[in-house]
């Protein structure tokens, strides 16, 4: 039973975007409890179909939080623009009242004693956490197939992956289990599943959203960011969680770019004077035909909105992929060393007959999945005395080149665009035995992580050959995230105006499909 059956004529609250829900809750047209209950029912209905987007649903805590917000609003206090709106949290962000598993067996049974900064900010702003979403184990993967708790399905086609690693957050947002979700993006882990599921996903400038309480995969690349079904929703969530945090020394002590203002400005549909660069190296050979044609259409729309489109070349970007697959595993090999069975989580083989080292080994053998082990091995090797210079050291040099290419390109352009992913979502199981083809899905998104700049993915239609969503990536210089929101919002409006229907409303409903079968 879906929340559409609330009663005759009852509107489906799970179809509304976050901005509209916030307006209605704060105007007391609907209560946060009603909104939250509708989403909890939606989660129940959709998860029953096997979507597997959630690892933990905190129904009672969510309803209690919603009731508290309702009381405050009744008393005349509104904590923030998104007060009363539900949100889902990727399960690699620490929550003191919910388990945090990182979709790994190694954290079995661990209950964290604290909240991540972003989680604290969600609560302080009156958002209502619904639960924790599925991901590739420790955010390592691009398909969500690396979860110890099973793959997530793509709502557009349950036989396909939703992308990853933030696949649970993306799928949940796409299908209306939640209007908003937080993801983390190390090499494309927000933008790529955003593209695969037809949602808006943003990787903010590195250092503008606190990483305190984000279980680290690759510390110099990880960045938390928002998912929404509209550009404005993503911007509103971005403003809640963003901004300087003294607990994260890589956090930039500067005002957050005015992303909500920019999304609203973009929605006026004018991109006159905006210089848009199309990155040569991020399209063409090897890209799926339907992806390229959707991208070309999107660029044409930008031109029609008044943008000046030019082609730019960033030759180092092709080196970005191998560099990323050295830097990220190197940092991961160190970050994941703490999972050793000594203090928390899984402990295997501690029967009194084994040494500490043996218990550590047995636990890590049993607790980590294949992809995590692969990356720990690669990273440990890349940092070893004999290979450091040739591997990790060289990868860092590539990183410098990528930064330079971006700098040069941003002298000529205000934003850069590309397809978010070279293909649409692929069938579950298709690439599990071929890590390199899996890694290629990150080709277009990795450069932004290496350079620490911002990138946004906004849906730009469906690929003709498979009917799966395609993403348009908009990249901006560091601390100019607002430009991506402006361009994204302008494009989004033009897209929906042209089709006559909001793109988000075209997502198939797994619950209805199952009901029909």
Residue closer to other proteins, measured from CB, 276 or 336: 336
Residue closer to other proteins, measured from CB, 26 or 449: 449
Question: Is residue 189 flagged as an active site residue?
Answer: yes
Q: Which region among 92-100, 300-308, 317-325, 491-499 touches other proteins (by CB under 8 A)?
A: 92-100
Residues 103-142 vs other proteins: string with x where CB under 8 A?
----x--x-xxx-x--------------------------
Which residue from 193, 215, 189, 228 is spatially nearest to 87, judged by alpha carbons? 228
| Count of residues making up the chain | 517
* Shortest spacing between CB 214 and other proteins, in angstroms: 6
What count of Cα atoms within 13 Å lies in the side-chain half-sphere of residue 319?
A: 16
Which residue out of 90, 147, 218, 418 is catalytically annotated? 90
Using CA atoms in the order 192, 197, 199, 202, what is the torsion angle rounded to 10 degrees? Answer: -10
User: Pick from 39, 121, 132, 211: which binds other proteins (CB under 8 A)?
Assistant: 211
Q: Which region among 165-173, 384-392, 417-425, 509-517 touches other proteins (by CB under 8 A)?
A: 384-392
Find the farthest-apart pair of alpha carbons in the chain and give their distance in angstroms, rounded.
Answer: 72
* Contacting residues for 335 by C-beta, under 8 A, at least 6 apart: 216, 217, 218, 219
* Shortest spacing between CB 319 and other proteins, in angstroms: 20
Rounded-to-integer distance, Cα 25 and Cα 30, Å: 5
Q: Where are the alpha helices (DSSP H) in 157-286?
A: 167-174, 191-197, 231-241, 259-266
Q: Where in 270-324 does DSSP place strands (E)?
A: 275-279, 308-312
Give residues 235-264 in contact with other proteins (rule: CB under 8 A). 246-250
Judged on CB neighbours under 10 Å (0-12, 13-18, 19+), 158 is middle
User: Pick from 54, 324, 392, 491: which binds other proteins (CB under 8 A)?
Assistant: 392
User: Pick from 61, 63, 72, 219: which binds other proteins (CB under 8 A)?
Assistant: 219
- 356 lies in the site for other proteins, by CB under 8 A: yes
Which residue out of 147, 165, 210, 316 is catalytically annotated? 165
Query: Is beta strand 180-185 parallel, antiparallel or unpaired with respect to 128-133?
Result: unpaired
User: Pick from 303, 384, 437, 505: which binds other proteins (CB under 8 A)?
Assistant: 384
DSSP 93: B
Which residue out of 189, 316, 330, 457 is catalytically annotated? 189
Give residues 362-381 in contact with other proteins (rule: CB under 8 A). 380
Q: Which region among 28-36, 183-191, 260-268, 338-346 touches other proteins (by CB under 8 A)?
A: 338-346
Question: Is residue 90 flagged as an active site residue?
Answer: yes
SS3 288: coil
* Shortest spacing between CB 434 and other proteins, in angstroms: 29
Residue closer to other proteins, measured from CB, 180 or 327: 327
* Shortest spacing between CB 224 and other proteins, in angstroms: 11
DSSP 204: P
Judge whether 445 and 421 are in contact, CB under 8 Å. yes
* Contacting residues for 53 by C-beta, under 8 A, at least 6 apart: 46, 47, 88, 133, 134, 152, 162, 167, 168, 169, 171, 172, 175, 177
Residues forming the site for other proteins (CB under 8 A):
93-94, 100, 102, 107, 110, 112-114, 116, 211-216, 218-220, 246-250, 330-331, 333-334, 337-340, 342-344, 356-357, 360, 380, 383-385, 388, 392
Q: Which residues form the catalytic set?
A: 90, 165, 189
């Amino acid at each position: 039973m879906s929340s559409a059956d609330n009663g005759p004529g009852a509107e489906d609250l799970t179809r509304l975007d976050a901005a509209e829900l916030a307006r209605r809750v704060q105007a007391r047209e609907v209560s946060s409890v009603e909104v939250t209950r509708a989403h909890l029912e939606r989660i129940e209905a959709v998860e029953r179909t096997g979507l597997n987007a959630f690892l933990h649903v905190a129904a009672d805590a969510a309803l209690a939080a919603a009731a508290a917000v309702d009381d405050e609003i009744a008393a005349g206090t509104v904590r923030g623009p998104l007060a009363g709106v539900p949100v889902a949290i990727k399960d690699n962000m620490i929550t003191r009242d919910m388990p945090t598993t990182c979709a790994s067996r190694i954290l079995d049974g661990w209950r964290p004693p604290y909240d991540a900064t972003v989680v604290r900010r969600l609560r302080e702003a009156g958002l209502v956490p619904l639960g924790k979403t599925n991901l590739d184990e420790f955010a390592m993967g691009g398909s969500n197939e690396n979860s110890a708790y099973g793959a997530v399905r793509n709502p557009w086609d349950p036989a396909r992956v939703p992308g990853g690693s933030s696949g649970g957050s993306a799928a949940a947002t796409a299908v209306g289990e939640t209007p908003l979700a937080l993801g983390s993006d190390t090499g494309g882990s927000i933008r790529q599943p955003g593209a695969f599921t037809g949602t808006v996903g943003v990787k903010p400038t590195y250092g503008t959203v606190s990483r305190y309480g984000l279980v680290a995969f690759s510390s110099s690349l990880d960045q938390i960011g928002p998912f929404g079904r509209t550009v404005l929703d993503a911007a509103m969530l971005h403003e809640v969680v963003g901004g300087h945090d003294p607990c994260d020394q890589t956090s930039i002590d500067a005002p957050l770019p005015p992303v909500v203002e920019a999304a609203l400005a973009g929605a006026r549909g004018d991109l006159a004077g905006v210089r848009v660069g199309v990155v040569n190296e991020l399209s063409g050979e090897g890209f799926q035909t339907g992806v390229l044609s959707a991208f070309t259409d999107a660029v044409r729309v930008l031109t029609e909105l008044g943008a000046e489109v030019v082609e730019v070349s960033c030759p180092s970007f092709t080196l970005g992929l191998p560099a990323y697959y050295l830097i990220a595993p190197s940092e991961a090999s160190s970050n994941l060393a703490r999972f050793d069975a000594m203090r928390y989580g899984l402990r295997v083989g501690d029967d009194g007959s084994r040494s500490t080292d043996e218990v550590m080994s047995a636990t890590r053998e049993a607790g980590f999945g294949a992809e995590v082990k692969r990356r720990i091995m690669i990273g440990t090797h890349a940092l070893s005395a004999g290979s450091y210079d040739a591997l990790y050291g060289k990868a860092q040099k590539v990183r410098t080149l990528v930064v330079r290419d971006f700098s040069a390109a941003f002298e000529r352009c205000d934003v850069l665009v590309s397809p978010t992913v070279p293909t649409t979502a692929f069938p579950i199981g298709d690439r599990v035995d071929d890590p390199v083809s899996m890694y290629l899905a990150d080709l277009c998104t990795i450069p932004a992580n290496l350079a620490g700049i911002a990138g946004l993915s906004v849906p730009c239609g469906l690929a003709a050959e498979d009917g799966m969503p395609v993403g348009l990536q908009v990249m901006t210089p560091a601390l100019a995230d607002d430009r991506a929101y402006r361009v994204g919002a302008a494009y989004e409006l033009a897209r929906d105006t042209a089709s006559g229907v909001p793109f988000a409303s075209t997502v198939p409903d797994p619950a209805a499909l199952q009901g029909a079968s």
